[in-house]
Amino acid sequence: EIAKVLAQPALDDTITVMGWVRAFRGNRFIALNDGSTPHTLQIVLDAEKIDETIIKKIKFHACLSITGQLVASQGAGQAVEILAESIEVLGECNPEDGYMMQPKVQTMEFLRTNAHFRMRTNTFSSVFRLRHAIAFAVHKFYNDRGFFYIHTPIITGSDAEGAGEMFHVTTLDTNSPPRLEDGSVDYTQDFFGKATNLTVSGQLQGEIAALALGKIYTFGPTFRAENSNTPRHLAEFWMIEPEVAFNDIVDNMDLAEEFTKYLINYCLENHLADLELLDKRLAEEQNALPKDKRRAMGLIEQLRFVVDNAFERITYTEAVEILMKSKPYKEKKFEFPVEWGSDLQSEHERYLVEKEFKKPVIVRNYPKEIKAFYMRLNDDDKTVAAMDVLFPGIGEVIGGSQREDRHDLLVERIKAIGIAEEELWWYLQLRKFGGAPHAGFGLGFERMVQFITGMSNIRDVIAFPRTPGNAEF
């Protein structure tokens, strides 16, 4: 493995390495990468020793197995190199045969349509190593703090979250499904005996677990059929949802801040080389933009800034007041209205984070009308103990709340928004029998990966993005 060879070089040993050609210069120097590290290993070959037919096959992204002596390098830029004694071509890679990847900057759009090869690029191999690292850090964070990892169902008959459009799951013949007398589809004849869908959130099941195990988290795929073609939305994304018995909204905000900072720190401490590469990439991308469109900070600079500073914490009401005093509001530059009672749109969130506070902001106590039924009603009777965590460049990374733990108030809320009580019988029983105050939130995993890698489109931080009209690969 090249990562190990570079970290602990056993000089003078004869070793074999395998990987893909990143560059081949002067018929003499190969830069080989095997995915274990952002760095390449230099291979020096002596044209007299290696067969000419093999040298001809050393093309960009060809896969090679190389045996030779590991020696200290004379050249600048690397500490060690291999003097090739033999080279075996494991997989040829000829542009003449139609290979479309080239050793130059190619557009993100082009790379997306070639997702089967994009992980071989510097940028994407760094992104996916970091994605792995962040996922690992999620488990480490919660495991170290005594949380239990709960697997909640992907297919569910509960559709009460109200988090947007759902993907339906059915084995019925959709052309001519069995119908009830009133003409509606008879789902009692479906596989599960009721209508089902892909989950939009594991929260409600997570609450069941928290009210038995105390501290739990979920980490799984979630699905939303919202037709939003934006750089922040996927139809299939991963969410981490901690849920904690006895926590209130302040504990919840503390956990969210500690958690997100931990993930960033973990990457800074363990994957700096990948971050440095992505920092450079982002700087190049930024330089191509007009000055007023550029980010205020470089990637690593911003990551350090976020972990070193306390998040701003404001109420929804304060947020609306700030927005109504803002320049874009006065100049009528906001597309959506700002008034107490309407939801904050991403343009508003970005104003708060990028212009007003210039750091992550936690907004809490939203009007009950614009938030989910399960959020705890505040004493003002108007707002609920909801919180959104907003990040620079991304907007909302976390949504969460303290949950309504009072049975009668929850029944009232459920009725008010027109959900049938029977549907949530088990959820209501959790309040009736041995209930407790509890709180939790959901972190959009890809949005966090976006923030840490500096990738501007969410499609570029998940290997095989699912978006409207795209289910290739």
SS3 call for 98: coil
**Shortest approach of Mg ion to residue 226 CB, angstroms?**
12
Q: Which one of ligand 4AD, Mg ion, none is in contact with 163 (Cβ closer than 5 to 8 A by kind)?
A: ligand 4AD
Distance (Å) of CA 162 to CA 181, 204, 224, 226, 358: 28, 12, 11, 12, 32
CB of residue 240 vs Mg ion: minimum separation in angstroms? Answer: 14
User: In the bound complex, what is the minimum distance in angstroms from residue 40's beta carbon to ligand 4AD?
Assistant: 33
Tokens describing residue 143: 């495991």
**Smallest separation (angstroms) from ligand 4AD to the CB of 204:** 8
- The DSSP bridge partners found for residue 129 are none
Q: Identify which of residues 17 and 452 has a Cβ nearer to ligand 4AD in the complex.
A: 452
Minimum separation from the CB atom of position 427 to ligand 4AD (A) = 13
* The pairing of beta strand 155-156 with beta strand 196-198: antiparallel
- Which residue, 19 or 399, has its beta carbon nearer to Mg ion? 399
Choice between 9 and 454, CB closer to ligand 4AD: 454
* Interface positions with ligand 4AD (CB under 6 A): 161, 163, 201, 203, 224, 226, 233-234, 237, 239, 241, 396-401, 440-442, 444, 446-447
Residue 38 or residue 442: which is nearer to ligand 4AD going by CB? 442
Half-sphere exposure of residue 419, counting CA atoms within 13 Å on the CB side?
Answer: 21
Partner whose footprint covers residue 41, from ligand 4AD, Mg ion, none (CB < 5 to 8 Å by kind): none
Q: How far apart are the C-alpha atoms of 434 and 416, rounded to whole Å?
A: 25
- Please tell me the chain's helix, strand, coil percentages from 3-state DSSP, rounded to the nearest 5: 35, 25, 40
**Nearest-approach distance from CB 63 to ligand 4AD, in angstroms:** 34
Compare residues 124 and 366 and give the one whose CB is closer to Mg ion: 366
Q: Which is nearer to ligand 4AD, 241 or 460 (CB)?
A: 241
What minimum distance in Å lies between the beta carbon of 300 and ligand 4AD?
Answer: 23
User: Shortest distance, CB of residue 234 to ligand 4AD, whole angstroms?
Assistant: 4
Helix (H), strand (E) counts: the chain: 14, 16
Of these partners, Mg ion, ligand 4AD, none, which one is at the site of residue 435 (CB under 5 to 8 Å by kind)?
none
Least CB distance to Mg ion at residue 360 (A): 15
Nearer Cβ to ligand 4AD (164/337): 164
Q: What does the DSSP assignment read for 250-305?
A: HHHHHHHHHHHHHHHHHHHHH-HHHHHHHHHHHHHHHHTS-GGGS-SS-HHHHHHH
Separation of alpha carbons 332 and 244, rounded Å: 42
For the purposes of burial, counting CB atoms within 10 Å of the CB of 387, is it exposed (0-12), middle (13-18) or buried (19 or more)? buried
Q: Which is nearer to ligand 4AD, 66 or 239 (CB)?
A: 239
Which listed option, ligand 4AD, Mg ion, none, makes contact with residue 239 (CB within 5 to 8 Å by class)? Answer: ligand 4AD
**Nearest CB to Mg ion, comparing residues 266 and 451:** 451
Contact present, 459 and 447 (Cβ < 8 Å): no
Considering the complex, state which of residue 58 and residue 458 has its C-beta at the smaller distance from ligand 4AD. Answer: 458
Q: Kindly state the helix (H) or strand (E) to which residue 451 belongs, with its residue range.
A: helix 445-453
State the binding partner of 300 from Mg ion, ligand 4AD, none, CB within 5 to 8 A by kind.
none
Footprint on this chain of Mg ion (rule: CB under 5 A): 399
The CA-CA-CA angle for residues 176, 182, 185, to 5°, reads 35
Tell how strand 236-245 and strand 312-315 pair up.
Answer: unpaired
CB of 253 to ligand 4AD, least distance (A): 13
Q: Which does 234 bind (CB under 5 to 8 A by kind): Mg ion, ligand 4AD, none?
A: ligand 4AD
CA distance 389 to 254: 11
3-state secondary structure of 193: coil
Let me know: does 152 contact 218? Beta carbons within 8 Å. Answer: yes
